[in-house]
Chains A and B, each alone.
Chain A
């Protein structure tokens, strides 16, 4: 079994049997000794996962089998909370408690990649009926003690590490790499395998251990997902469906410059942050403009650096939006041309950014036609193919910044040309963004299918973005070659367009 690279900084692996270390003498007793036989911690379980990592280079293949392990904990009747990254791309999930070697098959109930949380259940929950679920606490104070419990590398049995709360801050969550939420930094050792395990204070869960730091630049830095993020997840799925985070989809720029403050008409009380960019398809796309000044969100004054005082702490103003759900509203006070305005905004999810982050539990979508492989452009694709083409990199890098998603919600890339007599002259055009096929503008992978179905002309004509000549195939030759190429390159299906 391979060790699955779960999170880049988690040093490649969660706990794995091959890494079993020699027995270590029990550590000296801490403040209060824990009797693992007492059952108090029996709700903290080891999660063993078999994984199939999708292959974005040969999207018709199954992918690479792999595996890993992490931690989860009981929060209700047959409901275990863990990290999304522990169970992502899983083909088999097994739960083990610390005192019972029996593996119990489990499945995902809900998974939220954007906040790296998942809820799983045992297929037969009766084994866990007697276990006591863990209770949630609140946001712990700085410099108070917490313990992290889980099944990290270094042994098979349950492990406890102790530390203090070092920092409470809005931070990127590296599971997708594009989402940021509140995270609490602790100096308790959090190692591969701790992922998904509870962090406790006075017997209550104050967080889920989920990521560390790459080590070379910082030490004794671990992060946990705090209770507000966990509670939001649990509330979101209460209706049986996960609806994702909502977003203002606007970027703020601090007002630190006196000339800027004067020009924008803000007073000297340090209230108001400038709008530096607005996504036209986001929640405030029709409301805010560049150069507007956001004064308050839900009556919480926004400071000139974009922070608000919220629940006693200074936090990013987005934290107020973060707690809300799709369809909720916020009250926004803002200033334009010196005039104070007010509006109520209905919040919605902003989809285009998702493609810029890692995605999981998805079968790669593709179309193969006469050896030409078309795939949608996203982070998974970019990571799998080392694309050096300037246009592909530009479109990916500036998908949001230059609002490219408006014209092309799902850019399609000609990722490969599987060589054959019919396409040998166009092999150099692999790694190009597809602009048009047979006169049809390509805005998504589905358009490729529609365009290829057009058979009114003797040639398949493909226009690639910023390549100055069309790429053409004679239709009758292409059709004759298609089956041959599929067979030669061992491709069973010539397309997968998703479940819909």
Chain B
């Protein structure tokens, strides 16, 4: 009875794994403007000499067959010329780029470019072209645009696009709301302007500048043509990025690394011992290795102020420019890595002042990689068993209906990594796929099992795994899994022979591992 139940799960889990290929690199919903809206009233003006077209070719690695790449696809955008002949675009524009070029909107002249700095969390990238005579000539007629952070709610701004021959097309918008929101990868929220109006679309685009009085106030983040809602990556974040790049070493945006809960519920306030009008939010989680933990913040503290700004029971502070805004912006948008932050909490009824040097948790600090661009997923292939480190993009490539079995288990680990981090794991190594070889006979239907030990060695990341495979006892690799069937054996000699065959075989595998 129980038996077939388990086997059924197993078959389902295994079947979903190899069948799945990641979504091709088409622009995701809402990312890019939709086709032209009827009734839009673009206003034609003179050519701008501060904008260049940017054409990028993007080619991500395959997440499920990590030795190969997906098919390349093109992305277009309108970059903004900044000081030093550098061009600002969104991070998405250059993600997994294999070739980037700049194009003059009017003349059509082109020049290759490369990425100087990119931050996929803040969704910003800076491009430049190799200094040369050609480069000098290309930029000769162009003029840098200034960045203006003074935008407020109700300000009128323009989204700029260029037409076929480089003519400038404007869509007018009014900033309606300022808030914080996740951009396009996992992580905390960043500042966002929101506006309502129809945006005419000349072509799908991954970057469109938003200007006011000839100055840059933001880049288009998303346009929802159904609800006519536009979100804009705002100048304060752009300035933060540029300032960070300017000092030579890029640190990124800091975060506190904690989770807070609103205290609007009067019964909850009383339970927490909060006075009816007292400000503050409950700290419900403090992440390992984050700024908050380093400052000594504890779960159960009531956060009442950051850097002198009072935090209300929604977790907002009063921003002098934008009004009520999530307190996360105080750290993420208004401070830099290395800055000191002063945090006031109430602990056991007493006010405690904590102080911390702000840090940023890098993608690699997470058990499950939040995003992965420009490089291939790490993997180890042994005799036909493919091992990978779990990443969000890998999980996201599975549709809702495939969320059962192994994928559900792995997704939950991604959402609740604490237990696995406490075990000392740096990454979550799992058996992702079994290629049919003589060595893997009988294992073909497996996939999605977390690896605990190989040849007696605990596996904390793929480097451990690669090392462990060098130390087989006798002539058998022993692989211990967290899930059914819990233990696998490979013949060392046959696995090596199959490795050699795989290298030149039907799967077109160029390398048995990627550990860089």
Contacts and interface: CB of A to CB of B under 8 A. Distances in A.
Interface in B1-48: 1-9
Contact of A251 (B268, B440, B484): B484
Contact of B476 (A254, A262, A277, A390): A262
B442 A473 contact: no
Contact of A256 (B264, B267, B441): B441
A259 B489 contact: yes
Interface string B105-149: 000000000000000000000000000000000000000000000
B412 A394 contact: yes
B2 A400 contact: yes
Nearest to A352: B2
Nearest to B494: A259
Nearest to A356: B5
A264 B490 CA distance: 12
Q: How many residues of B sit at the interface, in one of the four size bands? A: 35 or more
B267 A353 contact: no
A247 B409 CA distance: 26
Contacts of A493: none
B490 A469 contact: no
Contact of A474 (B1, B267, B282, B409): B267
B280 to A, nearest CB: 14
Contacts of A318: 1, 3
B486 A248 contact: no
B131 to A, nearest CB: 52
Nearest to B438: A258
Given A257-B441, A258-B491, A259-B490, A394 B1 contact: no
B318 to A, nearest CB: 24
A477 interface: yes
Interface string A20-40: 000000000000000000000
B412 A426 contact: no
A469 B5 contact: no
B485 A276 contact: yes
B230 interface: no
A259 B472 CA distance: 13
A459 B271 contact: yes
Given A250-B3, A257-B443, A277-B485, A262 B491 contact: yes
A259 B476 contact: yes
B486 A180 contact: no
B285 to A, nearest CB: 5
A454 B259 CA distance: 31
Contacts of B439: 257, 259
Contacts of A250: 2-3
A170 B491 contact: no
A274 B409 contact: no
A251 B486 CA distance: 11
Contact of B412 (A178, A252, A390, A472): A390
Interface string A162-184: 00000000101000001110000
Looking at chain A, what size class is its interface with the partner chain?
35 or more
A187 B62 CA distance: 45
B5 A257 contact: no
Q: Is the interface of B mostly helix, strand, loop or mixed?
A: mixed
A466 B411 CA distance: 14
B441 A253 contact: no
B371 to A, nearest CB: 20
A304 B404 CA distance: 29
A397 B404 contact: yes
Contacts of A402: 409
A193 interface: no
Interface in B278-315: 282, 284-285, 299
Given A468-B285, A472-B267, A477-B267, A290 B3 contact: no
A114 interface: yes
B187 interface: no
Interface in A371-403: 390-391, 393-394, 397-398, 400-402
Contacts of A393: 403, 408
B478 A263 contact: yes
A310 to B, nearest CB: 16
Given A245-B1, A247-B2, A468 B284 contact: yes
Nearest to B444: A256
Nearest to B476: A263
A335 interface: no
Interface in B361-408: 403-405, 408
A249 interface: yes
B265 interface: yes
Given A258-B441, A469-B282, A477-B267, A180 B485 contact: no
Given A262-B476, A277-B485, A472 B2 contact: no
A48 B446 CA distance: 46
Interface string A438-475: 00000000000000000000010100001011101110
Given A253-B484, A274-B485, A468-B285, A172 B4 contact: yes
Nearest to B487: A291
Contacts of B7: 251
A141 interface: no
A469 B284 contact: yes
Contact of B271 (A353, A422, A472): A472
Interface string B261-278: 100110110110000000
B483 interface: yes
A277 B486 contact: yes
B488 interface: yes
B469 to A, nearest CB: 14
Contact of A263 (B9, B265, B489): B489
B313 to A, nearest CB: 11
A319 to B, nearest CB: 11
B1 A469 contact: no
Interface string B457-499: 0000000000000000000111000011111111100100000
| Residue with the greatest number of chain B CB neighbours at <10 A, chosen from A253, A255, A474 | A253
A251 B261 contact: no
B69 interface: no
Contacts of B2: 247-251, 279, 282, 350, 353, 400
B411 A172 contact: no
A242 interface: no
Contacts of A255: 442
B249 interface: no
B213 interface: no
A469 B483 contact: no
A260 interface: yes
A445 B292 CA distance: 38
Nearest to A422: B267
Interface centre among A178, A245, A356 (most CB of B within 10 A): A178
Contacts of A276: 6, 484-486
A353 B282 contact: no
Nearest to A245: B1
30 contacts: A172-B8, A178-B1, A180-B1, A248-B3, A250-B2, A251-B3, A251-B6, A253-B485, A257-B439, A257-B489, A257-B490, A259-B477, A259-B494, A263-B476, A263-B489, A274-B487, A277-B486, A350-B2, A356-B5, A390-B412, A393-B403, A394-B412, A397-B405, A400-B6, A401-B6, A468-B284, A468-B299, A469-B282, A473-B267, A474-B270
Given A259-B494, A472-B268, 13 more contacts: A180-B3, A250-B2, A251-B485, A257-B439, A257-B440, A259-B476, A263-B478, A277-B484, A318-B3, A390-B411, A401-B483, A459-B267, A469-B284
